[in-house]
Chain A
Amino acid sequence: MKNRSLVSINDFTKAEQLQILDRAEEFEKNPNQRILQGKVVASLFFEPSTRTRLSFESAVNRLGGRVIGFSDANSSSTSKGESLKDTILTVSNYSDLIVMRHPIEGSARWASEVASVPIINAGDGANQHPTQCLLDLYTIRQTQGTLDNLNIAFVGDLKYGRTVHSLVMALTQFNTTFHLISPTELKLPSSVKMYIKDANLEYHQYTEITDAIPKIDILFMTRIQRERFSDPMEYERVKNSYILKNSMLEKSRQNLKILHPLPRVNEINEDVDPNPKAYYFQQALNGVFVRQALIAKILGV
């Protein structure tokens, strides 16, 4: 992985993804390891995303590295009309690694082709967000002790959610059985389903959460946004069916864990929070360990 960019989760093999998860376990046990002394990581956020930025910057700081960069496009030279290519070429001179978030799809791949240092994609528009995917894999393994042969349910907006798309793609390497729960209008796109079919894996589609609850090990919740519906009446009709309440978990398996990429709005009722099966806050913490592991692997330390 040394000196390689991570733009899309598929850029790394299954073995490489597992190596990152193993390394992340070491950082979970001992987060402060000053192995990045003398290294500079550029953190270029062309659109604000406080959560992701803080997670990356915390990771670099815990490793003893330095962070330079900006947290929104207004404080970069992009606001003066500079091309992405020129910004990346310039920043390459000042850093050993670039973490980049950008609203334009494909921007991270392009940046990885012009930069002389590796790029980590921290989100390129609606396209890819591979470190979110690694942290989801890490959390699933942490809670179930394995990634293999699990029953995993995805709930909510399966059509537009990029987190869901990359995670489904990654999970097809682990013999997962998929349970897909969404309004008809927001079903998983056929381009993503193709990965499940190509891997000869089982998938079931539902419109009600409760139908899937007794069969699953992981419940991955996402938010449904009003603006995704062509018919506002349809949104009003279905919105409450995709809100998880504690009472719905009665028939669930002992080992079930509920995940959510956060921030949530109302799709998980707060009465779920005290249930030991709720795992979304621990999930967010794992982001730092996984990002420490990825940065360490790419910088070869």
Chain B
Amino acid sequence: MSTELRKELIVSAIENGTVIDHIPSNSVFQVMKILELDKTTNQVLFGTNLESQKFGRKGIIKVREKFFTDTAINKIALVAPNATLIEIRSFKVVTKRKVNVPDNVENIAKCFNPKCITNIEQVPTRFKVVDKTELRLLCHYCEKITKKENIHFI
């Protein structure tokens, strides 16, 4: 176990559940919203502006007694592309993996086109990710591309 990881676990070790590490500090609440942790009855612990060797400052979220599917966790890739997912059972790390940018993104980001139906009527947004490295999102409705620098979250 790396020193960094041990330190985190010391802060508040969980017996069973998931730790999401390396979230940009200003995206922690966004991640909680995307994973619907604002609605859960599970215990959620989080920290922001923690020191990180790799990222300067980072955020972290721990959820007790909860494990995420790949589909659910990949949704956070847009806001936290470098996030690491750590699953813990009986205080032991059982898996540790990176998130992947998904093929499709639903109801997370806004379309940058002000003339798009999704910005005018109550229509959930849908995008196809046409470039996973540069993060270019093709709107399912107006067929325009929203670039990374224009992405705003709902």
Contact = CB atoms under 8 A, between A and B. Distances in A.
Interface of A: 8, 83-85, 103-107, 109-110, 125-128, 191
Interface string B92-135: 00000000000000000000010111101111000000000000
B66 interface: no
Contacts, number: 46
Nearest to B138: A191
B142 A191 contact: no
B146 to A, nearest CB: 12
Interface of B: 113, 115-118, 120-123, 139-145
Nearest to B118: A106
Given A104-B117, A105-B117, A110-B117, A128 B123 contact: no
B113 to A, nearest CB: 6
A107 B117 contact: yes
B144 A105 contact: yes
| Interface-central residue, B121, B139, B140, B141, by most chain A CB under 10 Å | B141
A126 B116 CA distance: 10
Contacts of A104: 115-117, 120-121
Contact of A84 (B113, B121, B139): B121
A243 to B, nearest CB: 30
Nearest to A85: B121
Contact of A109 (B121, B140, B145): B140
17 contacts: A83-B121, A83-B122, A85-B122, A104-B120, A104-B121, A105-B113, A105-B143, A106-B118, A106-B139, A106-B140, A106-B141, A107-B141, A109-B140, A109-B141, A110-B121, A110-B141, A128-B143
A242 B117 CA distance: 34
Given A105-B113, A109-B117, A125-B115, 4 more contacts: A85-B121, A105-B115, A106-B139, A110-B117
Given A106-B139, A109-B140, A110-B123, A191 B117 contact: no
Q: Is the interface of A mostly helix, strand, loop or mixed?
A: loop
Nearest to A83: B121
Nearest to A109: B141
A85 B144 CA distance: 22
Contacts of A105: 113, 115-117, 141-144
Contacts of B121: 83-85, 104, 110
Contacts of A110: 117, 121, 123, 141
Nearest to A84: B121
B131 to A, nearest CB: 11
Contacts of A127: 142-143
A85 B117 CA distance: 11
4 cross-chain pairs, A with B, having the tightest CB-CB distances, nearest first: A106-B141, A105-B142, A106-B117, A106-B142
Contacts of B145: 191
Contacts of B142: 105-106, 125, 127
A231 B116 CA distance: 27
A105 B142 CA distance: 5
Nearest to B115: A105
A265 B122 CA distance: 38
Contacts of A125: 115, 142
A107 B140 CA distance: 11
